[in-house]
Every structure is written in structure tokens, then in C-alpha cells.
Amino acid sequence: MAQNLAATARTGRDNQRYGAQGERLVAGVVPLSNDKTKVLLIQSTRRGGWVLPKGGWETDEGTAQEAACREAWEEAGIVCTVSKDLGTIPEMRPPGELTPKAPKAAYQFYEVRVDREAPEWPEKDKRGRQWMSYQQAKQALAARPELLEALNRSSVTK
């Protein structure tokens, strides 16, 4: 699937899709190295630490896969190809961690092959990116059980 590589990232939630229970529909990727020994994580802008590229599936995007690849470009500066559907992961955060800026969500993740890492990308000034081993990524994602579940569903070498 050809990706639209916009120079700027989308912002706001005016075009956000929501599920039947009012949950925000989020699409994300688990970017793996070609030999599947490393996963690419990005810095979180809200919480600090490291996360997987993900974001809202918007109403003008036909599929969650399209949204996931857009988020991978905006947040991590990667052009990618989906290699595996990792399924939907329900919200796992305790109710006390849910806020208006971080509401209940349902996560649709895809394992992707990284075709290209661009030197410039829309959120470069807000986020770093780093390749990590499974063990490093597992530790970095320990506070985010939904992201750790996506990592564990992937075919990264464990």
C-alpha cells in the first residue's frame, strides 16, 4: 500500500473514530528489523519513556492499517509494509489512569517491516526513535500493558 508522506502530523480529535462502547479506536505498529531481532520504539511526548507508534484511526481513513502506517510515518519517520495483523487489544489501563486527554481506547496493532527510515519526519522535533532488543523493549513497555501485549503478539525474536 502506498503511503501518503505528509510533511506535518495531524492534530486534534475532530475526525477520530469511536467504537460501540465509546472507546477511542487506535491503530499502531510493531516495527521490526528485517531479521526480527529488534523493534523500533519512539519517545512518548506525554509520559516520557518509550512507546510503539500509534494514534487515532480517523474518519477519512478506510482501514485501521492505513491509520497505523500514517502514525508510523508521523511519529517514527518510517515507511513500512504490514506483514501481520496482531489483532485488537482492549484497554488495559486502570480507570484511574484514564483522562480526557487519554480516554479508554481499543488498540488495533500490526507487525510491520521497516522499508525506510527517513532522516526527517513530522514529529522529529518531539520524538526520538531507537531500535531495541525484545528484552530492552519489554522493560521499556512494562508500564503499558496494551503495548507490551502487541510486542508479545509479534514475531520479534524473544
Q: Give per-residue pLDDT as tens, 57-115.
A: 999 999 999 999 999 999 999 999 999 999 999 988 888 877 777 778 999 999 999 99
Burial category of 61 from C-beta neighbours within 10 Å (exposed 0-12, middle 13-18, buried 19 and up):
middle
* pLDDT score at 8: 63
pTM over the 0.85 mark: yes
* 8 A C-beta contact, residue 110 and residue 65: yes
Nearest CA among 91, 51, 93, 106 for reference residue 75: 51
Averaged over 47-61, what is the pLDDT? Answer: 93
* pLDDT score at 3: 62
User: What's the pLDDT band for 12 if we cut at 50, 70, 90?
Assistant: low
Residue 2 predicted with pLDDT over 60: no
Averaged over 6-20, what is the pLDDT? Answer: 74
Q: Can you read off the three cell numbers belonging to residue 83?
A: 506483514
Mean pLDDT over each residue of the chain, to the nearest integer: 91
